[in-house]
Amino acid sequence: MKRSWQIFWHITFWVCMISFFMFLGYSGAKMPMKTLVVVFVYFGIINIGLFYLNYLLLIPKYLDAKKYKRYTIYIIAALIGFALIKYGLAFVFKPIALERAGKTIGFWQFTFSTLFTSIIFVFLSTVLKFTIDWFLNERIQRDLENQRLTAELSFLKSQINPHFLFNSLNSIYSLAYQKSDTTPEAILKLSEIMRYMLYECNDNKVELTKELQYLQNYIDLQKIRFGNKAFIDFEVKGEVTNQHIVPLLLISFIENSFKHGIANDAASPIKLKINLEDGHLYFFIQNKKHAHNRDSSGGIGLSNVRRRLDLLYPGKYNLEIRDEADTYTVQLSLVL
């Protein structure tokens, strides 16, 4: 909130408070309205002055700095000083300010009664100060946490492109080494994929239709790599409309299946199913494992996607990975 608005709301609050108590006093007092206004305004200004003395000076300078003894001495001195000022002001408006039920009250009785009022204002200013400081600290902590998470997500996302590019270039290199006629087509597919990754994935979420097309392009690239001998059952069920998803979230599971699984066996194809139902995305992929898989960890891909899920879908996903003797299965349910 801007400082000008803060001042406006503070002034509005105090005007309303003084007006309210002045109305209560007028309803039961037998004195001219003009005199009543002067009394309440003067005493109100003194109490408000004590409020802001504690709020703007004593708390920040001593209490926040953990100088508790000095704060205690100064706040007691302020209470006594303001009580004497009130008593002196009461003489100006005597007998109005020094009468209670038709009797004139003494110095100590008046002082103790005004001390009680002053303590209330000190208490209110202390509560307000600590409440505002708490909210400000919470906001700062949230901003710092958001900055940290944004930086971490940017780092995780930056890992995806080199990781994918490394694997794809290896595949195209293999085709070029074999002098395959499909090498230009593979380069074109890679170009389309990289265009999507560079220009479409800058937002936090992308259209699900584009992400599914990206997965299809990747699968087509792998089929070219295997000389059209890559067997994968890719099926999408449910209505794809205006759903959105975090980009590049599912590709690591598919990469993992092609890299560590058996893709060239028509009898045991990679099974990839995506089902959309009631605002949820259900992802299933299963591949047959190589008998001698030297790198079954999945590299940085799976640890990366786990961390991104934790950051971007907290409490909104369920990931199950079953690493069995012959098969590797991933099931992911996600609230879009």
Q: pLDDT tens for residues 60-89?
A: 888 888 888 998 899 999 888 888 887 777
Q: How many domains does the chain have?
A: 2
Could you report the per-residue pLDDT of 236-283, keeping only the tens digit for each? Answer: 998 888 899 988 888 888 888 888 888 888 888 899 999 999 889 999
In a domain, 330, yes or no: yes
In a domain, 156, yes or no: no
On whether the CB atoms of residues 222 and 315 are closer than 8 A, the answer is no
Residue 115 has pLDDT above 60, yes or no: yes
Q: How far apart are the first and last CA of the chain?
A: 34
User: Do residues 321 and 200 share a domain?
Assistant: yes
- Answer with the one of 141, 165, 197 that is the final residue of a domain: 141
User: Do residues 134 and 203 share a domain?
Assistant: no
In a domain, 298, yes or no: yes
> What sections of the chain are H helices per DSSP?
3-27, 33-52, 68-92, 107-177, 183-199, 208-225, 251-260, 299-312
Backbone angles phi, psi at 296, to 5 degrees: -100, 0
In a domain, 172, yes or no: no
User: Do residues 209 and 94 share a domain?
Assistant: no
Distance between CA atoms of residues 96 and 7, nearest Å = 32
Give me the pLDDT at residue 101, please: 44
Q: Is 128 exposed, middle or buried (0-12, 13-18, 19+ CB in 10 A)?
A: middle
Q: CA quadruple 146, 152, 154, 160: dihedral positive or negative?
A: negative
Give me the pLDDT at residue 163, please: 62
Give me the pLDDT at residue 173, please: 81
Q: Which of residues 228 and 184 earns the better pLDDT score?
A: 184
In a domain, 157, yes or no: no
Could you report the per-residue pLDDT of 155-203, keeping only the tens digit for each? Answer: 556 555 566 677 678 778 877 887 877 788 888 888 888 788 777 777 7
User: Do residues 196 and 330 share a domain?
Assistant: yes
Q: Which long-range contacts (CB under 8 A, 24 or more apart) does 151-158 make?
A: 152/307, 152/311, 153/308, 153/311, 153/312, 156/304, 156/307, 156/308, 156/311, 157/201, 157/248, 157/308
The DSSP result for 63-119, as a single string, is ITTT-HHHHHHHHHHHHHHHHHHHHHHHHHTTTTTTEETTEE--HHHHHHHHHHHHH
Whichever domain contains 218, its CATH number is: 3.30.565.10
- Average pLDDT over every residue of 46-56: 87
Record the tokens describing residue 265, joined without a space: 């066996």
In a domain, 202, yes or no: yes
- Answer with the one of 93, 113, 141 that is the final residue of a domain: 141
CA distances to 50, 64, 79, 135, 216 from 123, in Å: 11, 15, 12, 18, 66
User: Do residues 103 and 185 share a domain?
Assistant: no
Residue 300 has pLDDT above 60, yes or no: no
Whether the pTM exceeds 0.75: the reply is: no
Distance between CA atoms of residues 37 and 28, nearest Å = 14
User: Do residues 108 and 217 share a domain?
Assistant: no
User: Do residues 94 and 202 share a domain?
Assistant: no
In a domain, 272, yes or no: yes
Q: Is 316 helix (H, G, I), strand (E, B) or coil?
A: coil
In a domain, 151, yes or no: no
Q: Is 176 exposed, middle or buried (0-12, 13-18, 19+ CB in 10 A)?
A: middle
User: Do residues 196 and 327 share a domain?
Assistant: yes
Residue 30, domain extent: 3-141
User: Do residues 108 and 225 share a domain?
Assistant: no
User: Do residues 123 and 220 share a domain?
Assistant: no
User: Do residues 47 and 126 share a domain?
Assistant: yes
User: Do residues 319 and 227 share a domain?
Assistant: yes
- Average pLDDT over every residue of 297-317: 76
